[in-house]
Amino acid sequence: MTSSPPTGVFVPVPTFFKPASASNSLQPQVDVDTQVKHSIHLAKNGIRGLVLLGSTGEAIHMSKQERFDLVSGVRKGLNDAGYPDYPIMAGVLINSVDEVLEWLQDFKKAGVQWGLVLAPGYFGAAANQENIREWYTVVADHSPIPILIYNYPGVTNNVMVTPETYNILAQHPNIVGCKMSHGNVSYHVQVSLDPEIDHNKFRVFSGFGQQLGPIVFFGAAGVIDGLAAMYPKTVSRLMNLSEKRPIEPKVHEEIQALQYAVSTAEEYIGKWGIVGIKEGVYRVLGMGTLEGGRLPLKGKLPDGSDKSRPYYGARIVLTCETRSPPNAI
């Protein structure tokens, strides 16, 4: 039987690069050691799985060999740290079916369990739902590992995968879930509650932690959330409480407080994106650099940005982080 990802919080981890001054190349070199260190930290603090080389992971800025070395390095590092078979998805961010399958073959060799395959959106305005379904079916038919549908309209010319398309593709034995990185909560709920979908096999994840409580209450599997890259215990606790049944009044009050803190802090992620996540990880965990990603994502936050409401929202979460054990209920 095809394996499905577990429920819970996954982190779309940023890819760490060495300082430009330490790299003898056109671009900063990948820092696999820091990548492993961060991955182990997440595994120790309640995160149920990783997404490597997704949009946050800048896979499109990396070579084939760099992608393989990063993924295989993280897998080995987790195994050596006592986390064998720790759940890892890897992002596939291109449109050519042949290249998608090449990436998936490489990821299987590197030790990945699932491919998170971005909807083909270069010609987004011309991509009707029938063709999207055929594209994913061809990929799933030939993929060496199970795949999830990744719908991120912000990077695919506003392509939206509809609930009907999810319903149809969820029946494919090699398609085991989806990530919706958009604000249409109705789509999350429709797909999560669709009685024609086997939800033990097809898992629905949001890309936004600010949707965690509401969508998990209505059957979603969890979130793939950037804030958890720096505050894993808090987001994991919100997940653990939200999936608990029945929800007692005191638990409900804590869910509300945590969701408020997480939603407020998520404004920081929404405002500053990948550069903000990297700087947040550096500020909170002391990992990485303040140089941002590869061009055109090089740089740090402007001076004074820590006075903004989103940053202070992150401070609220830090208070929760220091007092909340990751798996306590």
Q: Are 93 and 64 in contact (CB under 8 A)?
A: no
- Say how far apart CA 166 and CA 156 lie, in whole Å: 17
Domain with 140, as residue range(s), is 8-242
Would 177 be classed as within a structural domain? yes
Beta bridge partners of 114: 89
Would 236 be classed as within a structural domain? yes
Active site residues: 179
Would 85 be classed as within a structural domain? yes
How do the pLDDT tens digits run along the chain, 329 residues long? 579 999 999 999 999 999 988 878 899 999 999 999 999 999 999 999 999 999 999 999 999 999 999 999 999 999 999 999 999 999 999 999 999 999 999 999 999 999 999 999 999 888 899 999 999 999 999 999 999 999 999 999 999 999 999 999 999 999 999 999 999 999 999 999 999 999 999 999 999 999 999 999 999 999 999 999 999 999 999 999 999 989 999 999 999 999 999 999 998 888 899 999 999 999 999 999 999 999 999 988 887 665 554 455 555 565 567 654 444 33
Beta bridge partners of 10: 49, 224
Q: Domain total for the chain?
A: 1
First-last CA distance in the chain: 32
Would 293 be classed as within a structural domain? no
- Say how far apart CA 281 and CA 278 lie, in whole Å: 5
Would 322 be classed as within a structural domain? no
pTM of the model: 0.92
> For residue 141, what is the domain's CATH number?
3.20.20.70
Would 198 be classed as within a structural domain? yes
Would 79 be classed as within a structural domain? yes
Would 41 be classed as within a structural domain? yes
